[in-house]
């Protein structure tokens, strides 16, 4: 299987999907324990949820699972949220804080470097190309990072997560007007709760590519999975729920696309 899938569009908008892939090479899968092999921390159904919503945007999708290597972590494995529970570049624990490898089967530093070269770097090279093409062709580019997570994960956050979690690295990763417009659409969707820069402020992708001074803007959208699917195996997609959410997501993507040409004026 190819590590990534790329759809090159003709738009300043780029959708990135780092955690929806489920491919784990057999030599890694056999070293995972039962919890690891369940792949419970997948951003389930994200490509289906966003299918057809982004017009002619470019889409970069990681086919590999985050347990192989997390495409939304720094290559140096620096913590995104110092002092808070999180998972690393090549996770050793799941979102509940439990080990995912059989004892003694964890990846070595040499293996992590191989995974970086095989999976992580091609994914980010594709994002870089798409964003630079957007800047060249349109004068700017916007990265929209697509995520989802179970609505209740005690190891990572207290209580129930808001439905729509907008991350802009505390306003540093995009023009303030982009953040404002996305937030207003989510707030006006009264059936959903939302927050800006709450528990999830944007991962490494948002922080790395969000360079407003260079006409590159980045926004992360972390969606509580209860909004569109069943939150336990077999992780069923709920068309009745997803159809309503897709209307809001379409509005967000449409507004970004129409608003963005005025950002640098």
What mean pLDDT, rounded, does the chain reach? 95
Instruction: Tell me whether residue 61 is in a domain.
Output: yes
Quick check: 46 pLDDT over 80? yes
Span 189-195, average pLDDT: 97
Instruction: Tell me whether residue 16 is in a domain.
Output: yes
Instruction: Tell me whether residue 186 is in a domain.
Output: yes
Q: What range defines the domain where residue 192 resides?
A: 4-24+41-82+109-262
Go through 209-224 and write b for each residue having 16 or more CB atoms within 10 A of its CB, e for each that does not. Answer: bbbbeebbbbbbbbbb
Look at residue 135 and give its three-state secondary structure.
Answer: helix
Residue-level pLDDT at 118:
98
Instruction: Tell me whether residue 148 is in a domain.
Output: yes
Instruction: Tell me whether residue 183 is in a domain.
Output: yes
The tens digit of pLDDT for each residue in 62-120 reads 999 999 999 999 999 888 888 788 899 999 999 999 999 999 999 999 999 999 999 99
Instruction: Tell me whether residue 30 is in a domain.
Output: no
Find the range with the poorest average confidence among 15-24, 233-242, 243-252, 254-263: 254-263
Instruction: Tell me whether residue 36 is in a domain.
Output: no
Tokens (6 digits) for 160: 């129930």
Report how many domains make up the chain. Answer: 1
Banded model confidence at residue 223, pLDDT cuts 50, 70, 90: very high
Instruction: Tell me whether residue 243 is in a domain.
Output: yes
**Alpha-carbon gap, residue 69 to 38, rounded angstroms:** 16
CATH number at residue 142: 3.40.630.40
Instruction: Determine phi and psi for 187, rounding to 5 degrees.
Output: -65, -40
Quick check: 264 pLDDT over 60? no
């Amino acid at each position: 299987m190819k590590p990534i899938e790329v759809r090159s569009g003709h738009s300043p908008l780029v959708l990135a999907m780092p955690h929806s892939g489920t491919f784990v090479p057999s030599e890694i899968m056999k070293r995972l324990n039962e919890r690891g092999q369940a792949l419970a921390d997948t951003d389930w159904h994200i490509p289906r949820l966003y299918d057809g919503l982004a017009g002619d945007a470019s889409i970069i999708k990681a086919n590999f699972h985050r347990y192989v290597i997390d495409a939304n972590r720094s290559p140096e494995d620096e913590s995104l949220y110092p002092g808070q529970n999180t998972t690393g570049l090549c996770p050793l624990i799941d979102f509940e804080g439990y080990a995912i490898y059989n004892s003694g089967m964890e990846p070595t530093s040499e293996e992590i470097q191989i995974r970086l070269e095989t999976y992580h770097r091609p994914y980010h090279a594709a994002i870089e190309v798409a964003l630079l093409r957007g800047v060249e062709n349109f004068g700017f580019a916007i990265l929209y990072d697509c995520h989802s997570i179970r609505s209740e994960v005690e190891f990572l956050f207290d209580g129930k997560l808001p439905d729509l979690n907008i991350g802009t690295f505390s306003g540093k990763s995009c023009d303030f007007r982009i953040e404002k417009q996305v937030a207003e659409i989510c707030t006006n969707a009264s059936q959903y709760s939302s927050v800006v820069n709450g528990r999830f402020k944007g991962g490494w992708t948002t922080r790395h590519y969000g360079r407003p001074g260079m006409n590159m803007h980045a926004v992360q959208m972390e969606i509580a999975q209860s909004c569109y699917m069943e939150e336990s195996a077999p992780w069923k997609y709920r068309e009745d729920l997803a159809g309503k959410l897709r209307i809001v997501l379409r509005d967000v993507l449409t507004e970004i696309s129409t608003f963005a040409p005025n950002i640098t004026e």
